[in-house]
Amino acid sequence: MNRPKVVDLFCGAGGASLGFVKAGYEVVGAIDADEDAIETYEKNLCGRDSVVEEFPGTIAFEEPLRADLSRGYEDEDIDDGLPTVTFNDIRTHFDIEPGEVNVICGCPPCQNFSSLRDTESWPEDKPKDNLLRAFIEFVAEEVPDVVFFENVRNIMTAGEDVPSTYIDWLTRSMKSITRDGDSKQEGGYGYALDVLNAANYGIPQRRHRTIGLFVYGRDNDDVHLPEQTHSEDPDPTSSLQPWVSVNDALGQYDDLKYDLQSGEKQVGIEGYPDDPEHRSRRHHSRTIERMKAIRRHGGSWRDLIDTDDEEYIVDAHDGLEGGAASAYGIMRGDEPAPTLTTRCTTPSSGRFTHPDINRGITFREAALLMTFPRWFELPSKNDAAERVVGNAVPPKLVEQIANTLLAHLRQVTKVEY
Ligand SMILES: C[S@@+](CC[C@H](N)C(=O)[O-])C[C@H]1O[C@@H](n2cnc3c(N)ncnc32)[C@H](O)[C@@H]1O
């Protein structure tokens, strides 16, 4: 059976890899620097019957590679002792032949452009984000047929005060990558790039991310992102489905209906299957009182203003916009979840309080809202568990993008996948 081959750079716990496997691809290599993410990837996706039996694709290796993908550019978040690798090192490690890779999938973190940091413009000759630069160099080393790129939404607008924006630099760089022997006209990557809302693709989460598809040797007009399948308020004459809500996503699991309280874990609860991931963080009693007060008056700490529960407004949030505006907010059950971040089970970090119960959502609930399968195991350390979930690209979204890519791959490779 022909399966297109994928290398997943910055693979995390494998959200994107899983999406490719669901769409029938063979992931032949995966690399990340985070030890917890690597362990999670390995225990869930490598050699697991659940993957082999449930999905048409495969993972071809026993363990992802833990390495630094910065190619020697400065990355202050990285462990000093970790080896840096070139694409050739990756080939050698995973036993991949040059030119064998059809797809490079990459989600290089661009922290300069997350919505909670500054987005000041940068001069053309001084790229601020080293990991994106490294990512382009990996692509140039292998020149695969297609490249899947995911990033924060702000990367699309960052640098708008200067004529050459960050995204222009990315697309121009991709356009100039040419295989040996190809002319400039024959080579280069055509692309489709946009900010997609995962909720519009049936994911129970409003998650806006920049998604790029780059196809070698094609014009931009020939490259397309998948059509939206869901909508907030679909026209009955259209084929669009309504958004999938938190209640839709979690309500199908009877055992999750047990009213798990703060600090409780679904292990050893009579009549319910053990699920160590279905555990809530333990909250301070004052936090629980704050949640109750917020629930009494609405769903946000702002609803406490001018009420007799004003004492529960955390001083630091008063008057703040952005992330802090949603702190301690109660998630709505009848809507998709808000964007799950790397702090998505921590109520002070966003609208992450359960719709009906006075506790943050559990790690299992977070993973399901990210469309990981129910059997997906997470790290036992709480911070690592919410980090790998919040960092992921929803597998169900990647599956749809990977299906769209199949058409491009058939055209480019003339192989019937
Ligand atoms: C957005 S997450 C990727 C999520 C992943 N694609 C998924 O779907 O689960 C970005 C990843 O980049 C990794 N990372 C950051 N800097 C790195 C570096 N210098 N080398 C390798 N990995 C790095 C982080 O550990 C994190 O897992």
pLDDT in tens, 388-400: 999 999 999 999 9
| pLDDT at position 74 | 73
What number is the average pLDDT over the span 253-277?
Answer: 93
Give me ligand 1 centre to Cα 167, in Å.
Answer: 20
Selected residue with higher pLDDT from 236 and 317? 236
pLDDT band at 117 (very low <50, low <70, confident <90, very high): very low
Rounded to an integer, what is the distance from CA 325 to the centroid of its chain? 23
Q: Compute the Cα dihedral for 378, 379, 381, 385 and give only its sign.
A: negative
Ligand 1 pocket, CB under 6 A: 10-16, 32-34, 37, 68-70, 75, 77-78, 107, 109, 131, 391-393
**CA 292, CA 298: separation in Å to the nearest integer?**
10
Give me ligand 1 centre to Cα 31, in Å.
Answer: 8
Nearest atom of ligand 1 to the alpha carbon of 106 = 6
**CA 289, CA 341: separation in Å to the nearest integer?**
24
Give me ligand 1 centre to Cα 273, in Å.
Answer: 32
Give me ligand 1 centre to Cα 34, in Å.
Answer: 7
Write the residue with the smallest CA distance to atom 1 of ligand 1: 391
Q: Give the residues across from 216 on adjacent strands.
A: 189
| pLDDT at position 185 | 87
Give me ligand 1 centre to Cα 35, in Å.
Answer: 11
**CA 175, CA 190: separation in Å to the nearest integer?**
7
Probe target for ligand 1 pocket from 79, 107, 152, 210, with the most ligand atoms within 8 Å of CB: 107
Q: Judge whether residue 73 has pLDDT over 70.
A: yes
**CA 142, CA 178: separation in Å to the nearest integer?**
10
| Cβ atoms < 10 Å from Cβ of 374 | 15
Nearest atom of ligand 1 to the alpha carbon of 19 = 8
Domains of the chain: 5-231+393-413 (3.40.50.150), 254-373 (3.90.120.10)
**CA 156, CA 168: separation in Å to the nearest integer?**
9
Q: Give the residues across from 214 on adjacent strands.
A: 147, 191
Give me ligand 1 centre to Cα 15, in Å.
Answer: 11
**CA 244, CA 233: separation in Å to the nearest integer?**
11
Give me ligand 1 centre to Cα 104, in Å.
Answer: 14
Selected residue with higher pLDDT from 278 and 78? 278
Tokens of 320: 């703040």
Q: Judge whether residue 163 has pLDDT over 80.
A: no
Nearest-Å Rg of the Cα atoms of the chain is 22
Asked whether the beta carbons of 16 and 84 are under 8 A apart, the reply is no
What number is the average pLDDT over the span 263-292?
Answer: 95
Write the residue with the smallest CA distance to atom 11 of ligand 1: 10
**CA 276, CA 42: separation in Å to the nearest integer?**
18
Write the residue with the smallest CA distance to atom 2 of ligand 1: 391
Amino acid at 223: V
Q: Judge whether residue 227 has pLDDT over 70.
A: yes
| pLDDT at position 132 | 87
| pLDDT at position 265 | 95
Selected residue with higher pLDDT from 319 and 43? 43
Q: Which of 149-153, 156-160, 371-375 has the highest mean pLDDT?
A: 371-375
- In 3D space, the residue among 299, 29, 288, 50 whose CA is nearest the CA of residue 144 turns out to be 29
Selected residue with higher pLDDT from 123 and 304? 304
